[in-house]
Structure 1
Amino acid sequence: MLEVAIIGASGYTGGELLRFLDVHGEVEVVAATSRQYADTPIRKVHPHLHDLDLKFTDKSPSDLDVDMVFTATPHGASMSIVPQLVEKGVKVVDLSGDYRFDDIGIYEKWYGLKHEQPLDAVYGLPEMYREEIKKANLVANPGCYPTGAILAGIPLVKEGLADILIADSKSGVSGAGIKPTPATHYPNISDNIVPYAVTTHRHMPEIQEKLGKFGDVRVSFTPHLVPVIRGIITTLHSFPNREVSSEEIMELYKKQYHDEAFVRVLDAGEIPRLSSVRGSNFCHVGCFEIDENGRLVVVTAIDNLVKGASGAAVANMNLMCGFPETMSLEGCGLHP
């Protein structure tokens, strides 16, 4: 049995990790850390996990004697935790942005932090780096927005069809984390759609860097906060450099994702829905419509807390530890 710890387990991503790991046949969660809730039963913070007989602990990372650790910690905090775990020989999936970039200078520019302890990590998007993840000791879990945008863009960039992509993403409020803020206060977000960090969101360079592995591309990205709890819809706009049909684009995506366990390519004209992926580790890709000006529109839907965070982290753990990638993640979405 693989012994696992979650550092920072009281947030939404921590709760989702616990939800999936509780039904994983090869894993035992032996520590879930939280300074704020030390010695508090997990069900008091995550009420849906009522039968999970475990309390939060305030153990330091150096005191964790486990095989695998998920660091569900804020950007900047992981870099002070992860190196000591890796040095001990513990496998780590980091859910922060601290180890996602090949170029530390890009991280420091966009996150406004000095990276004190850079390490080699594998970017944890199995659709890109499955074989590398299997051999990794440190995996950097992708950001939620980049997951939907990258999966939308790979076939176009790989095929050389588009060198400029515009990603317009709309996220549920849970993406802002468990701590309330003025932006997520119910009267401020209900009945509203709020663009933010319109040209400066730190996920833009992540999308750019990863799609750049498939070809020369420039990415523009704008996120929006919408009054739903879960999910990200990404609408990707491009102008293909040759004449294509919706059916041709659909077949291109089906070819790219034919063997992917967690990507479902819809028929041309079919639009992904947030409810279809809610609670699941699936990404739905669809639309593939082209307007009279030659603009191609591709749409993806993911659950930001699952495929965009904790579900992806569990899939990465499965790959790193030799389990089936889909283990404990097979459930479909919760529509309606």
Structure 2
Amino acid sequence: MSQLDLRGLTKRFGAVTALAGADLTVPAGTLTAVLGPSGCGKTTLLRCLAGFERLDDGEILVDGRVVAGPGKHTRPERRHVVTVPQEGALFPHLSVRDNVAFGLTRDERRSGRAEEVLELVGLAGYGDRMPHHLSGGQQQRVAVARALAPRPSVILLDEPFSALDAGLRADLRRDVRAALRADKATGILVTHDQNEALSVADQVAVMRDGRVLQSGPAVEVYRRPVDPWVAAFVGEAVFLPATGPDLRTPLGPVTADEVPDGSRDLTVMVRPEQIVLAPGPGVEATVTGHDFHGHDATVALLLADGTRVTARVPGHAVPVSAGEVVGVRVEGPCRVWRAQLDR
């Protein structure tokens, strides 16, 4: 296991600054998902970590060892960092076992390491098969096994599930996460899929304009985003104006873990699942429509003051119809900032 430290990473391509002082720590034996919109610097970050690009400034340390920094650029093959690309890029003329064992020494091959990692990724007994006999998901499992085989210091996963259908993608990412944990590997997963990042990673790092805006456990980033932009990027969010120490909003008074001092004009973030449709005390709202997603549904609501909000309810609890008047209230603590809705 190796800890990865990124300190002030800067990378420019002509007039374009792809990384603008990115900082991130990945604890040993954990998986960090790097999340951000297209052009935020995710891929450049990965390429700098792998050694495919030279930094203009900053340092990369693997277990305390500087592999990139001022006057220092360790070649990719000497970093003990491996990359799993979007497409598995298996050698078509080699068997599954030989693909996995490609980077191993003779002694490591004799030790049964290839079979060990194939079992970790759920492909025990597949060693004699050829890549073209495997499904897309199985090929990606082989690619992960090949990356794990030499016990690298860090594994970089570049959107490895993006080409797969939704059901297969969910199963594969869960099994890959289990394999990384079983092998005590340190990993970085680059993705644009918020659900993937939140569900699979020990830590989520949100990037924008070449910087890491926030990193931490998924639940912390989701519930306590540093600003409205991060809040809206990692999940659906309802933003409401609030006043006073009692946090009065169009949805009624809400609670918060922390309220900024010395400000009466505030912005409150409410997640749609916190908006409960229920009889009894609450604010009246008119249903303007709903979208059914199977496991849950989103309900569009119009409040009396003209504010529009969206609630998320369980899929089995959608008895409402357009035009119906319902009571709504907010449950659980909300995130609060001084008034700022420029996202």
Q: TM-score by structure 2 length?
A: 0.28
Higher helix share: 1
Q: Which has the larger radius of gyration?
A: 2
Give 1 or 2: higher strand fraction.
2
